[in-house]
Amino acid sequence: MLEEVSTNENCVESIQRERNHHKCTRCPYEATFKSMLDRHINNVHLGIKNHKCTLCAYQTDRKYHLIDHMNCKHLGIKKYKCNQCEFRSSQKITLTKHINIVHLGIRNYKCSQCDYQTAEKNELQTHLDDVHLGIKKHRCSTCDYQTSEKRALKVHIDSVHLGIKNHKCNQCDYRAYQMNALMKHVNVVHLGKKDHKCNRCDFQTTRKSTLELHIDNVHLGIKKHKCSRCDYAAYQKKNLTIHVNSVHQNIKNFNCSYCDYQACRKSCVTRHINNVHLGIKEHTCSQCNYGATKKRFVEKHMKNVHLSMK
């Protein structure tokens, strides 16, 4: 009897040793089972992905990832439904993300250097790399675009160069390049949600960053983004970029399709086309047929023509 117990204990110890001693020879990874180590080596070091989609070039090392891919990309099956709105998804993780961000406002990952918060760890790392460290590892082969996130580069290529909008609203025809843009659309258009409210006026918005910009702009008059070459300052970084490109570097990325006119802003080209080529006047006088491309011209007209007559 004692010999049998001793034999059983030895078997257990042998199994435990077998389970805990599968170490990768290429990195510090350790596995409980040999099958897990084999999968790790195939996936991480050899790049072997046994599960392949028959309809496109997608490959993965996990069978359930392939099933999710088929349901999402090729079959359009969205079995996960939000119980608070009409949002549906083919992946449970996407539904969980939707609920946390849209309905619960959960953002567990916080930046230690600023007020930025997000629901995903990889988005926080991207924020740190992009904003605080200036690291942009991924570059577009078609233009000068750079980003710290591989996914952001794909979104850029799909949206800017290929015109692909993968995220579709299930309540209207709206489509978006990114999931967060679709969620913002659902919040604003279909749910009417504006969670961030100004405590100084009636302004409301769906984004905290927009509220902060509003307060700095309207109530405090703070212009954070300053030009290093002159005294120009702007409320938004994009306006400073436009200023530097147009004033100091003379970069004009937007071209008129009818003539040689170029501008640093798309809105300037649109105004030029409407005014010069189409004869469209965006701003019109309420008391006569006068029209102009700029609001200030109409205001000047009102003052000189109509108010001076009274």
The average confidence (pLDDT) of the chain is 80
Domain at 84, CATH number: 3.30.160.60
- Please state, in angstroms and as integers, the Cα–Cα distance from residue 184 to each residue in 127, 159, 229, following that order: 19, 17, 36
pLDDT in tens, 191-201: 877 778 889 89
Domain membership of residue 111 (yes or no) is yes
Q: Which domain holds residue 304?
A: 281-310
For residues 98 and 59, membership in a common domain is answered with no
Which residue among 74, 92, 123 closes a domain? 74
Handedness of CA 199, 203, 209, 214 (dihedral sign): negative
Q: Is residue 221's pLDDT more than 80?
A: yes
86 and 183 in a single domain? The answer is yes
In this structure, are 68 and 123 located in the same domain?
no
Q: Which residues contact 298 (CB under 8 A, 6 or more apart)?
A: 283, 284, 285, 290, 291, 292
100 and 165 housed in the same domain: yes
Same-domain pairing of 70 and 85: no
115 & 175 share domain: yes
155 & 180 share domain = yes
Q: How far is CA 62 from the centre of its chain?
A: 27
85 shares a domain with 64: no
Q: What local confidence, expressed as pLDDT, does residue 101 receive? A: 78
In terms of domains, do 178 and 122 share one?
yes
For 292-310, what is the mean pLDDT? 81
Indicate whether 70 and 84 sit together in one domain: no
pLDDT in tens, 128-155: 877 787 777 788 888 888 887 777 888 7
Taking the CB of residue 67, how many other CB atoms lie within 10 A of it?
15
Same domain, yes or no: 103 and 62: no
In a domain, 69, yes or no: yes
Domain-embedded: residue 44:
yes
186/83 same-domain check: yes
Within-domain flag for 4: no
User: How far, in Å, CA of 240 to CA of 248, rounded?
Assistant: 11
Among 74, 93, 118, residue at a domain's last position? 74
Question: Which residue among 142, 164, 190 closes a domain?
Answer: 190
The structural domain count of the chain equals 3
- Residue 78 φ then ψ, to 5°: -125, 85
Task: Report the predicted TM-score, pTM, of the whole model to 2 decimal places.
Answer: 0.31
Provide the pLDDT for residue 2.
45
Using the predicted structure, report yes or no on whether residue 107 has a pLDDT greater than 80: no
Q: Is residue 255 part of a domain?
A: no
Instruction: Evaluate whether residue 251 is within a structural domain.
Output: no
Query: Which contacts of 191-194 are long-range, i.e. CB under 8 A and separated by 24 or more positions?
Result: 191/85, 193/102
